[in-house]
Structure 1
Amino acid sequence: MAHPRPAGAAGASSPPSRGRYDDAAWLRGRGWALSIATAMVAHSDDAPVLAAVGREALAHVLDG
Protein backbone atom coordinates (compact mmCIF):
# COMPACT_ATOMS: atom_id res chain seq x y z
CA MET A 1 0.00 0.00 0.00
CA ALA A 2 1.51 3.31 -1.05
CA HIS A 3 1.24 6.31 1.21
CA PRO A 4 1.30 9.87 -0.13
CA ARG A 5 4.42 11.87 0.59
CA PRO A 6 4.44 15.54 1.47
CA ALA A 7 5.37 17.88 -1.35
CA GLY A 8 9.13 18.07 -1.67
CA ALA A 9 9.76 14.59 -0.26
CA ALA A 10 12.23 12.47 -2.17
CA GLY A 11 10.38 10.53 -4.84
CA ALA A 12 7.20 12.60 -4.55
CA SER A 13 5.18 12.50 -7.75
CA SER A 14 4.24 16.18 -7.65
CA PRO A 15 6.78 18.90 -8.42
CA PRO A 16 8.93 19.57 -5.37
CA SER A 17 7.84 22.44 -3.21
CA ARG A 18 10.75 23.32 -0.99
CA GLY A 19 8.47 24.62 1.72
CA ARG A 20 9.84 24.14 5.19
CA TYR A 21 12.00 21.06 4.75
CA ASP A 22 14.85 20.40 2.35
CA ASP A 23 16.06 17.07 0.99
CA ALA A 24 18.61 16.72 3.80
CA ALA A 25 15.85 17.02 6.42
CA TRP A 26 13.85 14.25 4.72
CA LEU A 27 16.96 12.07 4.55
CA ARG A 28 17.59 12.56 8.28
CA GLY A 29 13.96 11.72 8.97
CA ARG A 30 14.24 8.49 6.99
CA GLY A 31 17.40 7.63 8.93
CA TRP A 32 15.60 8.22 12.22
CA ALA A 33 12.66 6.06 11.08
CA LEU A 34 15.06 3.30 10.00
CA SER A 35 16.73 3.36 13.41
CA ILE A 36 13.47 3.24 15.38
CA ALA A 37 11.90 0.57 13.15
CA THR A 38 15.00 -1.62 13.42
CA ALA A 39 14.94 -1.33 17.22
CA MET A 40 11.23 -2.21 17.27
CA VAL A 41 11.84 -5.39 15.28
CA ALA A 42 14.99 -6.38 17.18
CA HIS A 43 13.54 -5.92 20.68
CA SER A 44 9.96 -7.14 20.33
CA ASP A 45 10.20 -10.88 20.94
CA ASP A 46 7.37 -10.67 23.47
CA ALA A 47 5.36 -8.01 21.62
CA PRO A 48 4.14 -9.25 18.23
CA VAL A 49 2.20 -6.06 17.51
CA LEU A 50 5.35 -3.98 18.04
CA ALA A 51 7.26 -6.31 15.71
CA ALA A 52 4.56 -5.92 13.05
CA VAL A 53 4.67 -2.13 13.32
CA GLY A 54 8.45 -2.21 13.02
CA ARG A 55 8.34 -4.46 9.94
CA GLU A 56 5.73 -2.21 8.31
CA ALA A 57 7.85 0.87 9.03
CA LEU A 58 10.96 -0.83 7.64
CA ALA A 59 9.09 -1.72 4.46
CA HIS A 60 8.05 1.90 3.94
CA VAL A 61 11.47 3.34 4.74
CA LEU A 62 13.28 0.92 2.46
CA ASP A 63 10.69 1.30 -0.30
CA GLY A 64 11.51 4.81 -0.61
Structure 2
Amino acid sequence: MICVLRRASEPQKSWHTVELDPRSLTVRQCRGFRNADAEPEAQAFVDAWKAHLQEVRFGRKTT
Protein backbone atom coordinates (compact mmCIF):
# COMPACT_ATOMS: atom_id res chain seq x y z
CA MET A 1 0.00 0.00 0.00
CA ILE A 2 1.36 3.42 -0.93
CA CYS A 3 0.42 6.39 1.27
CA VAL A 4 1.32 10.04 0.91
CA LEU A 5 2.10 12.20 3.94
CA ARG A 6 1.06 15.84 3.69
CA ARG A 7 1.53 18.70 6.11
CA ALA A 8 -1.67 20.23 7.47
CA SER A 9 -0.33 23.66 6.49
CA GLU A 10 0.19 22.54 2.85
CA PRO A 11 -2.46 19.90 2.08
CA GLN A 12 -2.02 20.16 -1.70
CA LYS A 13 1.70 19.36 -1.56
CA SER A 14 3.15 15.88 -1.03
CA TRP A 15 5.70 15.68 1.78
CA HIS A 16 6.77 12.02 2.03
CA THR A 17 5.70 8.77 0.41
CA VAL A 18 5.30 5.67 2.58
CA GLU A 19 5.11 2.07 1.40
CA LEU A 20 3.32 -0.12 3.95
CA ASP A 21 2.87 -3.89 3.83
CA PRO A 22 -0.78 -4.24 4.89
CA ARG A 23 -0.44 -7.87 5.96
CA SER A 24 2.44 -7.45 8.39
CA LEU A 25 1.98 -3.70 9.01
CA THR A 26 5.65 -3.06 8.32
CA VAL A 27 6.94 0.03 6.59
CA ARG A 28 8.97 -0.98 3.57
CA GLN A 29 10.15 2.54 2.89
CA CYS A 30 9.52 6.18 3.68
CA ARG A 31 11.05 8.64 1.26
CA GLY A 32 11.02 12.40 0.84
CA PHE A 33 11.39 14.69 -2.17
CA ARG A 34 13.71 13.33 -4.86
CA ASN A 35 14.07 10.03 -3.00
CA ALA A 36 15.65 11.70 0.05
CA ASP A 37 15.77 9.95 3.40
CA ALA A 38 12.80 10.60 5.66
CA GLU A 39 13.02 13.70 7.81
CA PRO A 40 13.02 12.93 11.55
CA GLU A 41 9.57 14.52 11.95
CA ALA A 42 8.11 12.32 9.20
CA GLN A 43 9.79 9.19 10.55
CA ALA A 44 8.42 9.89 14.04
CA PHE A 45 4.91 10.25 12.61
CA VAL A 46 5.23 7.02 10.61
CA ASP A 47 6.49 5.13 13.68
CA ALA A 48 3.55 6.38 15.77
CA TRP A 49 1.08 5.63 12.95
CA LYS A 50 2.45 2.10 12.54
CA ALA A 51 2.18 1.48 16.30
CA HIS A 52 -1.43 2.72 16.20
CA LEU A 53 -2.28 0.39 13.30
CA GLN A 54 -0.74 -2.55 15.13
CA GLU A 55 -2.69 -1.70 18.29
CA VAL A 56 -5.94 -1.53 16.32
CA ARG A 57 -5.29 -4.78 14.46
CA PHE A 58 -3.76 -6.86 17.23
CA GLY A 59 -5.34 -5.16 20.26
CA ARG A 60 -2.07 -4.42 22.02
CA LYS A 61 0.47 -1.67 22.27
CA THR A 62 3.87 -2.07 20.63
CA THR A 63 6.88 0.13 21.22
Fold-level match, TM-score > 0.5?
no
Between structures 1 and 2, the one with greater helix share:
1
Between structures 1 and 2, the one with greater strand share:
2
* Largest Rg, 1 or 2: 1
- Scaled by the length of structure 2, what TM-score is found? 0.40
Which structure has more RCO (C-alpha within 8 Å, separation ≥ 6)? 1
